[in-house]
Amino acid sequence: MPVIVVANPKGGVGKSTLATNLAGALASDGHAVMLGDVDKQQSTRQWLAMRPPHLPAITGWELKHNDIVRPPKGTSHVVLDTPAGLHGKRLDAVLRIAHKMVIPLQPSLFDIRATHAFLGLLRAHPRAADIQLGLVGMRVREHTISNDQLHQYLATLNVPVLTWLRDTQNYVQLAARGLTLWDVAPSRVERDLEQWLPLKEWISR
């Protein structure tokens, strides 16, 4: 059962946007997907509670006394959202079960510095060789200095850049209704779906 973790210890980089839409992409392909949240607040459960029941199912953790127990029976893919400040024992626990980790970051100096430090931490971890890492540029605006700087920085890393996701209100509007890009007419989000193709291909390997 593949476990895909979306992580970056910096807050506000788009982890939940990436995690919910990744779960939606897998569900739309017919997989039995569980979307979990390593944060004790379990914020993804709020998004799942808004999700219309007629859409491809995405389940949450099976909980007992507010503790994480296990994915629901029959789960084929797990997507884990993670909180800001992920480190220490909580990071170790995530890395013990992760098969792939998607690291989102936005075109800002703060994101670049935080991601650089996080990659160093991951590479030093005993399980580093067992986890595939991939980067995703979030809220990208073409032909901007910040975007050019992000491209230049990522080109220096030995980590694949999976895709670049543009800055659009589509994600905000869909999230407010428990939806993903795959839950609306493709014509409404055609450009965004195209940007997701290389990420989906990497996940499916």
Ordered by where they begin, the domains of the chain are 3-204 (3.40.50.300)
What the block records as the tokens of 123 is 């590479």
Q: What share of the chain is helix, strand, coil (3-state, %, to 5)?
A: 40, 20, 35
- Using an 8 Å Cβ cutoff, are 9 and 118 in contact? yes
User: In the prediction, which pLDDT does 181 show?
Assistant: 98
- Using an 8 Å Cβ cutoff, are 8 and 38 in contact? no
pTM of the model: 0.92
User: In the prediction, which pLDDT does 64 show?
Assistant: 58
**Strand pairing class (132-140; 161-166):** parallel
Burial of 1 (0-12, 13-18, 19+ CB in 10 A): exposed
Q: Is the dihedral of CA 162, 141, 143, 192 positive or negative?
A: positive
Contacting residues for 39 by C-beta, under 8 A, at least 6 apart: 81, 82, 83
Burial of 90 (0-12, 13-18, 19+ CB in 10 A): middle
User: In the prediction, which pLDDT does 158 show?
Assistant: 87
* pLDDT digits (tens), the chain, 205 positions: 999 999 998 989 999 999 999 999 999 999 999 999 887 666 788 899 999 999 999 999 876 555 545 788 899 999 999 988 888 888 998 999 999 999 999 988 889 889 999 999 999 999 989 999 999 999 998 888 888 888 888 888 889 999 999 999 999 999 999 999 999 999 999 999 999 999 999 999 8
User: In the prediction, which pLDDT does 26 show?
Assistant: 98
Cross-sheet strand order for the sheet of 77-81:
58-59, 33-37, 77-81, 3-6, 100-105, 132-140, 161-166
User: In the prediction, which pLDDT does 43 show?
Assistant: 74
User: In the prediction, which pLDDT does 118 show?
Assistant: 94
Nearest-angstrom CA–CA distance, 82 and 90 = 10
What the block records as the tokens of 153 is 């920085």
Q: How many CB atoms lie within 10 A of CB 190?
A: 10
